[in-house]
Amino acid sequence: MSECATLPAIMLIAEVLARTLRAAALATAIGCAPTTALARSLVSVPAPQHAPLFVDADTVERRGPVVSFKYLLDVLAPSEQSDIPNVWKSNEIDASIDCSKRTVVVRRLTAYSGPRGTGMATAAHSFTSPGVKPEAIAPKSTFAYLEAHLCANR
């Protein structure tokens, strides 16, 4: 087989690679690129009888009694294929807790196809409408565990 016989195959591979790189660049530009847990500094939050819960330590910012942060909540979700058991997915939530008032404000939620914020971003929702007010933190809720973890270390 001559070297020129493989040229069409090489050209096809080059075209597929170019399309993949363009798609990856577009996904990055619109915020849907795959991410890995390595890009985060995840700290496990003690939460008995609760789905796995983590705070991204690199996102924690304190201003007086208010602590802003991102947290990840792993969720067991039904698989999209009936022959595969449930799979772990995750939600990354951007929130603030007022430690003195014991209230929380959620600003953004991003859903990921894998656990601990890995895989593709599959959905996002911003809670930025006018009049978003802080809500009281309910006992034994996700935010109660986050409050205990973040506000105790002020």
Domain residues of the chain, as ranges?
1-33, 37-151
Q: For the segment 16-32, what is each residue's pLDDT rounded down to a tens digit?
A: 444 444 444 445 444 54
Q: Are 127 and 106 in contact (CB under 8 A)?
A: yes
pLDDT at site 130: 77
Q: For the segment 48-79, what is each residue's pLDDT rounded down to a tens digit?
A: 888 999 999 999 999 999 999 999 999 988 87
- What is the pLDDT averaged over residues 106-135? 90
Q: Are 124 and 113 in contact (CB under 8 A)?
A: no
pTM of the shown model:
0.70
Q: Where are the beta strands (DSSP E) in 9-77?
A: 42-44, 53-56, 61-63, 66-77
What would be the CATH architecture of the domain defined by 37-151? Answer: Beta Barrel (2.40)
Whether pLDDT at 92 is above 80: yes
Q: Is 17 left (phi over 0), alpha (psi -120 to 50) or beta?
A: alpha
Tracing tokens 């924690």 back to the chain, one arrives at 60
